[in-house]
Amino acid sequence: MKKKSGLLLYVVKKLLAFAATLFAASLLIFFLERLSNVDPIAVILGGKRANEATIASLREKFGLDLPLWRQYFNWLFGLIKGDFGADFRYQQPVWSLIAPRLGVTLPLITMASLITIAISVPIGVVCAIKQGSAIDGGLSAVCLAAVSCPGFFVSMIAIAVLSRVAPQIRFTGSFSGFSGMMERLLLPALCIALGMIALGARVIRSKMITELDSDYVLFARAGGISERKIVWKKALKSCVIPYSSVMSIQIGSLLVGAVTVEEVFSLQGLGSLLIDSIQGSNYPVTQAITMITVFFFLLLTTATDIIIAAADPRTIKGGGRE
Amino acid sequence: MIAKNGASKFFTPSVAISCFVLAAIVLISLAAPIIAPYDPLETDLSSTLEAPSAEHLFGTDQNGRDIFSRILFGGRTTILGALAIVLFSMAIGIPMGLFAGYFGGMADRLMMRITDVAVSFPTLLLAFVFAGIFGRGLRGAILAIGIVYVPMTARLTRSLTLSEKNRGYVEALRAAGCPTARILFLQILPNCVPTLSSQLTLDIGYAIIDLASMSFIGLGVRLPECDWGAMLEESRNLIFTRPLSALAPGIAIAVTVISINILSDGVQRYIDPTKRKLKRRALRHG
């Protein structure tokens, strides 16, 4: 009974922190954008000449004639209603620019995440079981190299190698249909996954080694429970906590973090729209993508914290991850 | 504080090799103006896309510039840039963390709330936004990434300060009337140095990758200036014809960062035999 109310309180606290952080992030991003010395009207006009009357009407249309705080609240309430406003450059609803990009980036990072989880756990466990062996040494060295290579470099190596070995594969260009998308996204997803696989395997390996050295494992061994069961059923459970903490942050960063790999494979993802909007001072788009990314990131990390707390109430006291 | 025989333990073969490699890379990059056989910006349209030869060690790029010379100069930019990022985050983050941890109360809560917001942004996302405000160019990119690294350095310093401030020696110094600044910077800070140094070494590696990423997507150095990230971007269309020349800057990044990671692991093992995992590591985003 007491445990349950503790968890409920924790969930409420986490959700409040989620809302408060999102609000603070919206303040930060809105006013940071205003620090730049580029005049929005210049961006809207895009270099065209205009008379005073046109400029005044444009100011009114985009709400730029209002005091800054009114502009902020208009934007914030729009966000809550799911309306991101109109962009400066094309003067279209921001969402209509973002939606097609999400159609590329979301499947890509979902694929990368699934690949990561499927591969990193077994690698980490095998390294831990065979600690100190040649297999562990080899895999650990590969992991170290993989976490040290930026994703775009990995992508370029993949293209350089595959274009020689299997010249029939197309790396860039358009695609159609679900299977076409899968085919085109598989290689970039693998390139994104490589670094995360290596990081995840390192986390599992180090936690698993500590776990296999602990008293309860010794006890289970003495009780005659098979080694396979100890590793995969008991010890692995404890690895889930640090693993999911690290992974939720990694996956949460991908929405924009995948941009360098998308660039190499000429994929029109969310990240490249963000970069374009930053370079073109197209604030509404920059703000919208930033808020979506922060929302996604916070959602993943908060959900992970709550799931961890539900699975292991001891983490509630320490506040989970610092 | 550290036993004398520790020296032999620190230099395991892999740490020794990575130290040597790093020292070589840093020295060669810093000495680029002396060593480089060509001007990295000088274009020569009569000798574009040449294959590696005795004259041009790694060949030439599409503008006839010597790739080897560009890697040397690019390395200088990348390595000095990464150092500047980490130094910036130290200069602001360490005092912040010391004050927040030592005084507690409002200042501490304020710092924690501000950093809470900062770490709710993926690292690169926030760096992109800042770079947009500071304007394109190397200086803007360094400042942008440096600012993003501050909260993490501040939080680590704060947690280390918290564990130091209630120790006997701090209380004794306070009772003896030692000025607070002296206690903070000359007594507490030195005791945080071991853990900080391991993390900050790691951060230099991250800074190299982040800075290269910024340049790669066009928010970093401006052409024709180069760093390893911008060079990789430029050489993307050479990938099918001259893969090794195209990939050379990436190999330089990888070798440098791998060495830094091995060194950081070594420092961590040396100062903390229980291999306590640093919490910050989990806070970092790829």
Residue A201 tokens read as 């395997």
Reported confidence tier of residue A20, pLDDT bands at 50, 70, 90: very high
Any A CB within 8 A of B241 CB: no
Domain residue limits, chain A: 2-80, 98-316
Residue A82: pLDDT above 90? no
In a domain, B237, yes or no: yes
Cβ separation B282–A160 shorter than 8 A: no
What is the pLDDT, as a whole number, of residue A136?
A: 92
A255-271 mean pLDDT: 91
CA A151 to chain centre: 14
In a domain, B29, yes or no: no
Residues of chain B in contact with residue A163, where contact means CB-CB under 8 angstroms, are: 239-240
* Residue-averaged pLDDT of chain A: 87
Reported confidence tier of residue B277, pLDDT bands at 50, 70, 90: very low
In a domain, B28, yes or no: no
- Is A188 within 8 Å of A169 (Cβ atoms)? no
- Nearest CB to A160: which of B117, B247, B277? B247
Indicate which of B209, B241, B261 best probes the interface with A, i.e. most A CBs within 10 Å of its own CB.
B209
Q: Is the pTM of this model over 0.95?
A: no
- Nearest CB to A157: which of B130, B236, B247? B247
**DSSP category for residue B238:** G
- CATH code of the domain containing B255: 1.10.3720.10
In a domain, B109, yes or no: yes
In a domain, B258, yes or no: yes
Residue B285: pLDDT above 90? no
Reported confidence tier of residue B8, pLDDT bands at 50, 70, 90: low
Reported confidence tier of residue B213, pLDDT bands at 50, 70, 90: very high
Cβ separation A156–B125 shorter than 8 A: no
In a domain, B134, yes or no: yes
- The CATH homologous superfamily to which domain A98-316 belongs is MetI-like (1.10.3720.10)
State how far residue B169 is from chain A, nearest Cα, in angstroms. 27
The residue of chain A with its CA nearest to that of B205 is A148
- Is A255 within 8 Å of A296 (Cβ atoms)? yes
What is the pLDDT, as a whole number, of residue A317?
A: 62
Share of chain B above pLDDT 70, in %: 92
Residue B106, domain extent: 68-285
B13-26 mean pLDDT: 91
ipTM above 0.90, yes or no: no
In a domain, B8, yes or no: no
The residue of chain B with its CA nearest to that of A195 is B286
Torsion sign, CA atoms B94, B100, B103, B104: negative
pLDDT of B28-65, one tens digit each?
988 888 887 777 777 777 777 777 777 777 777 777 78
State how far residue A116 is from chain B, nearest Cα, in angstroms. 13
Any B CB within 8 A of A134 CB: no
Which residues, other chains included, contact A112 with Cβ-Cβ below 8 Å and sequence gap of 6+? A188, A189, A190, A192, A193, A196, A254, A258
In a domain, B122, yes or no: yes
What is the pLDDT, as a whole number, of residue B274?
A: 54
B255-278 mean pLDDT: 77
Residue A181: pLDDT above 70? yes
